[in-house]
Amino acid sequence: MTTLELRNISKSYGSVRAVNDVSLSVPAGCHTAIVGPSGSGKTTLLRLIAGFEAPDAGSLLLSGAPLADGNGTFVPAHKRQVGYLPQDGALFPHLSVAANIAFGIAHEPADVRERRVQELAEMVVLDRAMLARYPHELSGGQQQRVGIARALAQRPKLILLDEPFSALDTGLRAATRKATTELLDAAGVTALLVTHDQAEALSFSDQIAVMRDGRIAQSGPPVDLYLRPRDPITATFLGDAIILAAQLSGDGWSTSVLGSLPVDDSTRLGPASIMLRPEQVTMVGGSAADCSAQGHVLDLEFIGHSCVVTVDVAGTRVQVRCAVGGAPKVGARVSLAVNGPAHVLS
């Protein structure tokens, strides 16, 4: 069953087309990430779904009911029951944690409200003592959890998250993200996340939509997108990539500077770009027989958990990773081996 359906949505500001003919469907219970660089239109798309803005064209349906259709139908934000969690939580600073959580259920009787607040606090693992506190007395992670509890209080069918973790420190970010994912799963709520952080998008979602210049460049399950991006920009946006010019032989093999490699396209013939993820490439010192290519090390960069090694392979620079302990020296000869098929970019 589909919770959210976008059909050919467009929105312009002046002469700028912020969102251009976007279609997307989000199944019930699914976590979808919209990812793209800043200015790609992803925040505008989110605001259109939330109802803060009206689309110029196209239609928007929630559980089959139209929210906006570009010719007059427009359900404003406060009648949509769509949860919204912006960056840094945006808690109301003048209200206690309990009052923040209960903000969306003000029409319920007091006892119902109180029970619901307790329930939600438990769900987001928030100590009861916290309920009487004020937002500025909470840590960033706690604020985020209160924000989620507040959004879930009115039992929305859909919750929108606008870069909700970007304000947190690196360590806290991953943990909060994971906790949030689990929470939303437990609540069984459909979620839509907007982020410019590909790692966040990949780990959070069941479905990713990559936005660029107001359009959705590609969408699908995270693994599909990671391994089989449609173009080099999407490929590099979702992670480090080795992109090589190659000749396809039409039988599932390619020839490039890395030698003869299997590819995931067995029909195409002729010149094409192929992509490998760095983790597909392993490097050994000297010349090894089972390696498809040799080169020499041009540059070494230590990035903490591993090293990035730039290898000159017959005049083409290839960046691969290696463990810190086994890093070769600059100028050393190395051999490269490839695991798994290369992806042919269209």
Residues near other proteins (CB under 8 A), total: 29
Q: Which of 5, 53, 200, 265 binds other proteins (CB under 8 A)?
A: 53
Among 2, 20, 81, 316, binds other proteins (CB under 8 A): 81
Of these, 90, 167, 233, 300, which contacts other proteins (CB under 8 A)?
90
Q: Where does this chain touch other proteins (CB under 8 A) — which range of 50-58, 64-72, 224-232, 297-305?
A: 50-58
Nearer to other proteins among residue 52 and residue 302 (C-beta): 52
**Closest among 77, 60, 18 to 42, alpha carbons compared:** 18
Q: Does 52 bind other proteins (CB under 8 A)?
A: yes
Q: Which residues pair with 35 in a beta bridge?
A: 195, 210
Give whichever of 38 and 170 is closer to other proteins, judged by the CB atom. 38
Residue with smaller CB distance to other proteins, 187 or 244? 187
Which of 121, 151, 210, 320 binds other proteins (CB under 8 A)? It is 151
Q: Which of residues 13-42 bind other proteins (CB under 8 A)?
A: 13
In this chain, which of 20, 63, 87, 294 binds other proteins, going by CB under 8 A?
87
Near other proteins by CB under 8 A: residue from 104, 141, 229, 341 = 104
Could you count the other beta carbons within 10 Å of the beta carbon of residue 145?
24
- Does position 174 interact with other proteins (CB under 8 A)? The reply is no
Nearest-angstrom CA–CA distance, 101 and 97: 6
SS (H, E, C) 285-326: ECCCCCCCEEEEEEEEEECCCCEEEEEEECCEEEEEEECCCC
CA distance 5 to 189: 16
Cα–Cα–Cα angle for 154, 208, 62, rounded to 5 degrees: 35
Q: Is 84 in the site for other proteins (CB under 8 A)?
A: yes
Is 57 a residue that touches other proteins (CB under 8 A)? no
CB of 87 to other proteins, least distance (A): 7
Report DSSP letters for 216-248, one per residue: EEEEE-HHHHHHS-SSHHHHHHHS--EEEEEEE
Give the whole-angstrom CA distance, residue 149 versus residue 100.
9
Query: What ranges make up the beta strands (E) of 28-147?
Result: 31-35, 57-62, 65-68, 82-85
Take residue 196 and report the two structure tokens written for it: 């410019």
- Binds other proteins by CB under 8 A, chosen from 42, 116, 150, 215: 150
Binding site for other proteins (CB under 8 A): 13, 47, 50-53, 76-84, 86-87, 90, 92-94, 103-104, 106, 150-151, 153-154, 160
